[in-house]
Structure 1
Amino acid sequence: MNFKSYFFPVLLSSICGLQAQQISIIDFWTELPVDSVMAVSHQDTLFSNSNGVVDFGLFKIAERPVILKKQDYYPQTILYKNIKNGSVKLMPMESSAPIDVFSERPGNPLLMTPTHTTFIHASEIKEQGFNTLDKALAAQSGIFIKSYGGPGQIQSISARGMSAEQTQVFLDGIPVNSFQLGSADPGQYNLDQVESVEIYRGGNPRLGSGGTIGGAINLHSRVIPDTLDYSLKLRGETLNNQFADLTIGLPTGFLNHEFSLHYENGENEYTVKTGSEKISLTNRDFNNWNFRYRSSLPIASDLHTELMFYTYKFSGGSPASLKNERTEVTNNARISYDNNLTALHLSYQKQRYKLNLRAFLRNNWNEYIDPDSVIGNDIISGCHFNHETGLIGHGQFIISKRFLLNSGLEVSRQKAQSTAFGDKNRERYAFFLRGDYELPWQFLNDCTTQLYTGLRAESYADFGNAFLPGIGITFYASFIKVYLSGGKNFRAPTFNELYWQPGGNPGLKPEESINFEAGVEYGRSLRSFNFMLGLSAYSIRPKNQIRWIPLTSNISSPENILAVDSDGIEIEARLADVTKRFQMIANYNYGFAVKADSDLPDDPTIGKRLPFLPEENWSILLQTGTSGLQCGFVISGSSFRYTTYSNDPYDILPAYRTAGCWAGYEFTAYRQKITVRGGCENLFDKQYELTPGYPMPMRHFYFELHVTN
């Protein structure tokens, strides 16, 4: 038998024996096929057909990750070999479409918030080179991170020029802002425990909790794996700081477990200049760890339960603001935290509705002591314990093909015990109702118009009731989205603002605001590149804004500023190829917040800018890579900030620019995926401050090793 007569039958039988590799993509709620889903595997890009099927033909994709993307759905990364029954369910977004995903037609969005909303997946954060949550958030337009120094120091987050108390942070829909302080510290949440981040600028009736005048940020935990899974990450910095993360996914029968431990220890060793003095900073050491346990149990095909326990412990320096070398010697104050959160989540889902119930309990404890500060014969110290129990119910109902209804009920009881004001209690009740309706008529061919209406009612035992209506409209056509919205917001004073001694003000009124926003987003696929440009303009009119006013050199007291005018614009541009081998992201925001009314006769601060808020923030990120090699560069900056209400030109925080770069390589060894990465922070070695008297670290380097299966 000659070679040809043997080879071709074998080749023909081999080809016939191969099976085309297909996956069927369906909607998580309706279980209907989803068409026009982009499926990216290696250098191949395909789309699902009208039956929701992606046909990979005979491509070898069994071991390759496949990225599924479609507007109004969460992006998902899968392995073909792990797909069961040949189908994949895509989860519709409960808020807004990702701004970096494009399609020629918006399809049938179930719920679209008519505001500037950002969705960031963990994979994007990794691609962009960020290794902490605060850095990832600081790169987003309209978001400002205030830090009291280097890693491990206190941080706060604010949106659209509003205060940290007016920006709410949630973990899986559970509010985590301190009800005594009012703010949340993003440094307490490990980025490796987060699957995705949603940023709602201007608030959202579903995510409210009485404080989203500036906005809300919702952190979604990563999905508990149903296979044995682990991740180990080690990082060291030339500031003499060390970090370690270990996450283990462990399935046991029907019950899936996840154990996650994050540890940090450091000295923050760096030197800065004050006048002609060169000072080595002290008392900026930190030691903290957080542990999280989660388990999931599918009780039935439509009933799912999940348990979470989270604890965070911190001890370290609590430095005073830097003045000179002499005061740095007596800088010995210490602070400790011990926070924990326990939550139970029940989810019941049918074809046309979904119900969620979350019960939670959280305890926050902290202690402060300054051995060098004495009043009378007593060393200055304080101990505070906050306890909260709550219940959050949420229902999502598909009334018709064009109408989606969201509703929810929240109950919480808060108790604070403090050496500064004794025992205080508060009860809060809230209800929200939101409807999203797609209008049946069209202005133009191939366009969609969606109307949103919402109402949130808040009831406080100590401040009565507040009704917060909202309305908006969104217009989609081919490659463009235009939206317009308005609403009312509310924030009750914190326990510190009301009762702190000395300085608390029990006569404070709740803050109220009227928010307006208009925006446009344009996105297109140009050959192998995706391009997006977004512009939003906002106007916030807070009333009874609370600000701490100095009474003496050592004592301040909160007062209601009668009115504030805050206006601004946010611009965001993205350019990326479909495989993310190249990516450029640019953000710019301009905000102008001034005191609009007087609270004193002949008030000299009327029309003056609010302190500590920059007019301009901007950032540019460049990232590229191929064949496992990745590198990136980011530069960001801010305009100067006044530090007084009188806008004294001699009391300012100067403008700054800071840059960083990184490079990493990913490879497989012994069936483990290994990533090594190194980078430089504050590349140009510039001294700058985000908070007066707390200089940020000078140029330093880090190295990171990440191993996962």
Structure 2
Amino acid sequence: MKSPILRAVPRAVALSLLLPAAISPVFAQATNTATTALQPVIVVGTREAQPLKDSAADVVLIDADSLRDSGADSVEDVLRRYAGLQITRAGGPGQSSGYLLRGAGTSSTVVMIDGVRVGSATLGQAAFEAMSLGDIDHIEVLRGPASGLYGADAVGGVIQIFTKKGQGPLNITANVAVGDYRSREGNIGISGAQGGFDYAASLGRETSRGVSAVRPNDQYGNYNPDDDGFRRTVATARLGFTPVQGHRIGISATQSKLNNQYDSSEYLAPDYLPDNTPDFRNHLKTRQISADYRGVVNTLWTTSLQVARNTDDSRSGGTELARFKTDRDQFTWQNALQLAPGQQLVLGYERVGETVQADGYGDVPKRTNNGYFAGYTGGFGPASLEASLRSDDNSAYGTHTTGGLGVSYALSSTLKLRALAGTSFRAPTFNDLYYPYYGVRTIKPEQGRSVELGLNWQSGSSQASATVYRNKVRNLIGYDPDSTGTTCPDGYGGCANNTSRALLKGVSLLGGHRFGDLSLHATVDFLDARDSLSGARLARRAAHQESVSADYSPGVWSVGATLTDVGARPDTTEPLGGYALLDLRASWRFLPQWRLETKLLNAADRDVQPVRDYQGLGRQFWVGLRYDMKGF
């Protein structure tokens, strides 16, 4: 019997022929402006600026116009539409979210904001539910292992989020919107540059009444018919000073406060019976603060320094709150050396220290990681080479060396062949190591080996790409139910353990095309993610996911639609059916700086079960007003 991936190939080929659509949404935007000669630039692929078209890696760039015009309701939704991430969310917007990149678990993808690694060190994941689209300038997603440059956890890839940076004259932007479920949002921002200084700041607020996060008759009896809404406030600020050309000193800060309701049960003395009636809430505060310097020492050497702290502080529960607070201190020194025209060597050192304050943990040691990395990029006529090598020495789990090698070859002026191979690893989280009656201090990091082959095509206003990948992961960290003291410590009812191996393989298609005022783009992903020992599909991974968008913009008004289709997924004891969501949007620019916007999310009012026993929102209508001092 053919595997799902082999059965998917004919469908993938057909879709790629029917939709010569977008490797990157930025392309469709750029071809409609006066800056078409400017090639999109990324940094995530090599840690230094690089034209997107030259990358040997599978990289998606989501630009500012795409973020503004997508009509998406969250950062997670944008990443699903444009980068093919699969999303697992415990309810509607504002609820806790997981994310699966190329089938790798949530803890197996690195998330960064302005170069700072973010997320909870206890859970091992970033809180997308605490982020706002209004503060983001653009997002870069490297799909595929990248531990050779970024160290631990880059098994699925790397997501780099960049906040807005000041340039040019003073600009003021603002937007307000109201929607069903008593949803409200507003954001205001300023940016600009003058006299050697550049500045940008924004403040946003979002609220929604929501719906009950848990569905009736759930398996654990957590359902409570009250609505589970959220409140979120996000503020960002960036300030830079360029005393002389080629040298910039900057500071930046981002803070988010999230208060979201959820359904659960607690078991209190004296009878310890389940009680689902309290108002369960999660109070989450995240903060990133950094200072950085970048200087062009001479024509051959550019150096960068960054010192940063990321804090993730959560208090959650019903009548009793549990607190989990992690601090991550990061120091990075990076040097780019131009060996010759088209030949670059990147050398760097990165130190990360993590500390935890958590109820019930007791005395948890601080862990530190020292990473040394090198990356090379070189062009040789129609061929190019990318290589990386990194050594990480961690106080909790030892030393690991990883690397990657990528080559690309221009078969013609429009067609490029790519091939990459690399190793990666995921570090155990603090929960895996230290959580009471679950963590095991001797647990080993996961280790992965990956290969991929890709083909990129670009001609005029059309782009398309196809990537086939295969990633073998061993020492998979998971839950071991042993209660006999055989594989788990005595007295444990189960524990974290290296229990399995996984094989993640798939096909990814991206594309876009513009016909005059009509633009199309699509992402199509087929995934076969399995436990290598049992052959069972890994939980919550859909075998396929597609997102197709069309936008028509003849002038001062525009209309658009996005159809997202998610396949069936295994989830605990029973499978979840697939679902499709249709989102509609329209806008009218009635003055150069003013635009009226509407959107209809889940237009068909589909019943969505993102994970077992949880539910998303039904049909939701929004209307809003947007202002941009510079015009659109």
Q: Smaller-chain TM-score range?
A: 0.7 to 0.9
Q: Residue type matched to 2:565 in 1? A: G
- 1:249 positional shift: 2.6
- 1:424 positional shift: 2.9
Residue 485 of structure 1 is aligned with which of 420, 428, 453? 420
> Could you say if the C-alpha distance between residues 521 and 331 of structure 1 is closer, same or farther in structure 2, counting changes exceeding 3 Å?
farther
Q: C-alpha deviations, 1:53-98, integer Å up to 9, x for none?
A: xxxxxxxxxxxx73244446469xxxxxxxxxxxxxxxx9946644
| Pair 1:534 & 2:534 matched | no
> Could you say if the C-alpha distance between residues 200 and 555 of structure 1 is closer, same or farther in structure 2, counting changes exceeding 3 Å?
farther
2:452 counterpart residue number: 517
| Pair 1:120 & 2:120 matched | no
> Could you say if the C-alpha distance between residues 284 and 137 of structure 1 is closer, same or farther in structure 2, counting changes exceeding 3 Å?
same
1:67 counterpart residue number: 35
CA contact (8 A) 2:91 2:213 kept: no
Structure 2 SS opposite 1:592:
strand
Q: C-alpha deviations, 1:134-192, integer Å up to 9, x for none?
A: 22111134411221111221122220011010011111121112221111122322222
| Pair 1:454 & 2:388 matched | yes
CA RMSD of aligned residues (A): 2.9
Residue 357 of structure 2 is aligned with which of 417, 421, 431? 417
Cα distance in structure 1, aligned partners of 2:536 and 2:600: 38
Q: C-alpha deviations, 1:519-555, integer Å up to 9, x for none?
A: 1011212xxxx22221100001001111234569x97
Structure 1 SS opposite 2:68:
helix
2:512 counterpart residue number: 574
Q: Residue type matched to 2:475 in 1? A: N
- 1:693 positional shift: 1.6
> Could you say if the C-alpha distance between residues 387 and 462 of structure 1 is closer, same or farther in structure 2, counting changes exceeding 3 Å?
same
Residue 377 of structure 2 is aligned with which of 436, 445, 458? 436
> Could you say if the C-alpha distance between residues 208 and 289 of structure 1 is closer, same or farther in structure 2, counting changes exceeding 3 Å?
same
Q: C-alpha deviations, 1:402-444, integer Å up to 9, x for none?
A: 311112110111110111312331001111111112225xxxx
Q: Residue type matched to 1:452 in 2? A: E
| Pair 1:627 & 2:555 matched | yes
Q: Residue type matched to 2:581 in 1? A: T
- 1:126 positional shift: 2.6
Cα distance in structure 1, aligned partners of 2:345 and 2:91: 45
- 1:506 positional shift: 2.3
Q: Residue type matched to 1:706 in 2? A: R
**5+ unaligned residues in a row in structure 1: which ranges?**
1-39, 46-64, 76-91, 99-105, 322-326, 372-378, 441-447, 598-605
> Could you say if the C-alpha distance between residues 414 and 544 of structure 1 is closer, same or farther in structure 2, counting changes exceeding 3 Å?
same
Q: C-alpha deviations, 1:315-368, integer Å up to 9, x for none?
A: 2313239xxxxx996252121112211100101024333221110022221111
Cα distance in structure 2, aligned partners of 1:303 and 1:366: 38
Matches for 1:331-346 after TM superposition, within 5 Å: 332-346=279-293
Cα distance in structure 2, aligned partners of 1:364 and 1:292: 16
Cα distance in structure 2, aligned partners of 1:289 and 1:119: 26
CA contact (8 A) 1:141 1:589 kept: no
Q: Greater CA radius of gyration, 1 or 2?
A: 1
CA contact (8 A) 1:205 1:432 kept: no
| Pair 1:362 & 2:310 matched | yes
Structure 2 SS opposite 1:282:
coil
Cα distance in structure 2, aligned partners of 1:227 and 1:573: 35
- 1:251 positional shift: 5.4
2:586 counterpart residue number: 663
CA contact (8 A) 1:72 1:93 kept: no
Q: Residue type matched to 1:584 in 2? A: L
Identity %, equivalent residues: 18
CA contact (8 A) 1:283 1:319 kept: no
> Could you say if the C-alpha distance between residues 271 and 385 of structure 1 is closer, same or farther in structure 2, counting changes exceeding 3 Å?
closer
Cα distance in structure 2, aligned partners of 1:474 and 1:251: 38
CA contact (8 A) 1:270 1:697 kept: no
Q: C-alpha deviations, 1:362-419, integer Å up to 9, x for none?
A: 2221111223xxxxxxx5x311221221111222221101311112110111110111
Cα distance in structure 2, aligned partners of 1:96 and 1:685: 42
2:441 counterpart residue number: 506
CA contact (8 A) 1:281 1:328 kept: no
Residue 525 of structure 2 is aligned with which of 572, 576, 589? 589
Q: Residue type matched to 1:537 in 2? A: V
Cα distance in structure 1, aligned partners of 2:226 and 2:482: 30
Cα distance in structure 1, aligned partners of 2:451 and 2:354: 32
> Could you say if the C-alpha distance between residues 555 and 125 of structure 1 is closer, same or farther in structure 2, counting changes exceeding 3 Å?
farther
1:708 counterpart residue number: 628
**5+ unaligned residues in a row in structure 2: which ranges?**
1-26, 266-273, 484-491
CA contact (8 A) 1:282 1:328 kept: no
Residue 652 of structure 1 is aligned with which of 568, 572, 575? 575
Cα distance in structure 1, aligned partners of 2:116 and 2:151: 9
Cα distance in structure 2, aligned partners of 1:434 and 1:292: 31
1:257 counterpart residue number: 199
- 1:255 positional shift: 3.1
Cα distance in structure 2, aligned partners of 1:262 and 1:303: 31
CA contact (8 A) 2:551 2:560 kept: yes
Cα distance in structure 2, aligned partners of 1:281 and 1:69: 55
CA contact (8 A) 2:263 2:276 kept: no
> Could you say if the C-alpha distance between residues 413 and 175 of structure 1 is closer, same or farther in structure 2, counting changes exceeding 3 Å?
same
- 1:256 positional shift: 3.3
- Report the count of equivalent residues: 579
1:288 counterpart residue number: 232
Structure 2 SS opposite 1:691:
coil
| Pair 1:185 & 2:133 matched | no
Q: C-alpha deviations, 1:566-624, integer Å up to 9, x for none?
A: 111111221124x7x21111211111111113xxxxxxxx1111111111111111111
| Pair 1:353 & 2:301 matched | yes
> Could you say if the C-alpha distance between residues 347 and 162 of structure 1 is closer, same or farther in structure 2, counting changes exceeding 3 Å?
same
Cα distance in structure 2, aligned partners of 1:344 and 1:665: 40
1:384 counterpart residue number: 324
- 1:132 positional shift: 3.2
Structure with higher RCO (Cα < 8 A, 6+ apart): 2
Structure 2 SS opposite 1:694:
coil
Matches for 1:529-568 after TM superposition, within 5 Å: 530-550=461-481, 557-568=495-506
Q: Residue type matched to 1:430 in 2? A: G
| Pair 1:171 & 2:113 matched | yes
Matches for 1:87-126 after TM superposition, within 5 Å: 94=48, 97-98=51-52, 109=54, 112=55, 114-126=56-68
- 1:43 positional shift: 13
Structure 1 SS opposite 2:103:
coil
CA contact (8 A) 1:239 1:270 kept: no
Q: Residue type matched to 1:465 in 2? A: T
Cα distance in structure 2, aligned partners of 1:249 and 1:493: 40
Cα distance in structure 1, aligned partners of 2:357 and 2:227: 28
CA contact (8 A) 2:147 2:423 kept: no
Cα distance in structure 2, aligned partners of 1:262 and 1:556: 42
Structure 1 SS opposite 2:191:
strand
Structure 2 SS opposite 1:505:
coil
Structure 2 SS opposite 1:137:
helix
Cα distance in structure 1, aligned partners of 2:102 and 2:344: 29
Q: C-alpha deviations, 1:426-484, integer Å up to 9, x for none?
A: 001111111112225xxxxxxx1012221011110111111102112101121011111
Cα distance in structure 1, aligned partners of 2:275 and 2:89: 19
Cα distance in structure 1, aligned partners of 2:616 and 2:275: 16
1:468 counterpart residue number: 402
- 1:274 positional shift: 4.7
Q: Residue type matched to 1:461 in 2? A: S
